[in-house]
């Protein structure tokens, strides 16, 4: 697994937060770092949506749902 690629575009590298969680290619700490990066990217996208700046890409509802899944996955890792 290319950690740099995963950090730059977690969705492209893993598809879903759940797939990242299940991956054996990363340590728990690496998974946490990638999920935090993904969460930050989604928050930025959500802010752009809220300001009407994002005219293409996923719908705001999709962004919010994915953000919730990333946050939930982070909680699972933190609980271990």
3 exposure class (CB count in 10 Å sphere: 0-12, 13-18, 19+) = middle
Choice between 72 and 55, residue whose per-residue pLDDT is larger: 72
pLDDT digit string (tens) for 18-55? 999 999 999 999 999 999 999 999 999 888 877 666 55
pTM, two decimal places = 0.84
pLDDT digit string (tens) for 55-68? 555 555 688 899 99
pLDDT of residue 2: 87
- Nearest 10 degrees: CA dihedral of 68, 70, 38, 10? -130
């Amino acid at each position: 697994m290319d950690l740099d690629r995963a950090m730059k575009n977690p969705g492209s590298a893993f598809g879903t937060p759940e797939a990242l969680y299940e991956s054996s290619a990363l340590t728990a700490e690496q998974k946490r770092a990638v999920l935090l990066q993904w969460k930050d990217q989604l928050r930025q996208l959500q802010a752009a949506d809220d300001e009407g700046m994002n005219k293409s890409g996923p719908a705001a509802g999709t962004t919010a749902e994915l953000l919730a899944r990333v946050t939930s996955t982070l909680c699972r890792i933190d609980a271990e």
